[in-house]
Structure 1
Amino acid sequence: MRKITAVMTVCAVLAGTLSSCSAAQNSSQPASSRRVSTAPLDQELIGTWMGEFTGYRFQDDRKISLVMDFSSFLHFDSSKHLYLSDDIVPDDSISYNGTELNVIIHDDGSSNSDGGTEEESSGAGGDVELLALRRKGEAVKETYNGEYDLVGGDYINIIADSLFIDPSKLDLDVKIDGEKFIFTAVDYCDYEVSEGQLDMFSENMAFIDQNADSVSYKYEIAGDELTLTYMGDVAGDEDDSEPHREVLKRAD
């Protein structure tokens, strides 16, 4: 159980890197009325841009989807074994009928990867529903590869908490392709660009500034590289002489 918790904690950290700038901006004040973007789109920005594990998909409908590549910690191999970090999930924890793919792990408290006793292992003796996926399109029984809706499991709450959004307002897709396991928060927020400034905004986010529901970056595109420089204070950053900066590569 501790191993499962550790892996899921890492995944939560990865998801949280997409919203790391929001920590200083949280507020209890109400969100403003819904903002609508009217500025022209930057066609050079549209597409998917990725960091090491996380990235953004800028869409021509003025929406941003957040992309999270958990493959290093969660993936299937060619034999349909599911890996959580370096551990293989028991085959009887996985059920699949061509449409629904579920992973429910039962822990009886008898093992502890940290070497502790059964009594020391928190949460022992219960089922852990990691994932409940529903395939998009027609059923395919021969392979797990494909695109799914994430309809249940602990990963919904983990990602929702990391992104400061109610789980009921989060639309999560999963793409399985070989050993790739990629989550996407579809249409997570809106965006607007003007004179090198990128605003991300949504009434469902916890980003709080003068618009009460947005976060702003300066952005630069050089070839296949996108640099986002945060315009604001980052919580916990005692040295604010260097602005928070993300560098991403075009992924499509």
Structure 2
Amino acid sequence: MYLPTFRLDGKTAIVTGAGRGIGRAIAVGLAEAGADVAIMSRTESDLRETARLIEAAGRKACMLAMDVTERDQVQKAVSVVIDEFKEINILVNNAGMNIRSKALEVTDEEWQKIMDTNLKSAFMMSQEIGRTMADNKNGASILSISSVGGHTALRTGVVYAATKAAMIQMTKVLALEWGTFGIRVNSLGPWYFKTPLTEKLLSDEQYVNDILAVTPLNRIGELYEIVGPAVFLASDASSYITGQTLFVDGGMTIKGF
């Protein structure tokens, strides 16, 4: 048998920033592939809808309204999920934000907020869950949502870009350090997708034209198109892949913006 399994039956996952957009899509996609999913976000009402979709896929959802930038809340949440699911096989670090300030206008407060949300949270989640993954019987995969902005210079968002570049490098170092424990660590680097966070930007026709001009596939991504790569990297189909960033970008990173 040469075709590996893309199924996640018997596995459990945590997805941060799962209340909407990319996080919700990936959480539901993991459930559709067979995983039970713990979902984290600051906004409980958003989590309820994600949980409903997970349960509609026939899987168990565990909701945790919390702040992933706070160590004590992360530790408590991991403990709750371990009690509920017994082990955690998949972590998706999706929580993130951006403030599109020009470099000369970035404040210390903006810097710290973006760093904490995008990078600190991903490291803390990886660290706390990584402690538990070495003893897993059903494998261990950590997947962080980075960005093309961590690889290619964009017009604004220097702090966001710095966090995403750091995430790509963090992925490599964690993969190297934790490979002996059987923990695989990878990241996905999306370009523009249709989400609540990009809705305003994508309503600007000229901005969209600028995006399409550097996107060989000449269109904005649909959310389902990031779910397949996420399931692939979470599943045994990618069992010999670690330390990599897969850009889901319509070809943008081969052209530049």
Which bin holds the TM-score, normalised by the shorter protein? under 0.3
| Structure (1/2) with the larger helix percentage | 2
The higher-RCO structure (CA 8 Å, 6+ apart) is 1
Using structure 1 for the length normalisation, give the TM-score. Answer: 0.24
| Structure (1/2) with the larger strand percentage | 1
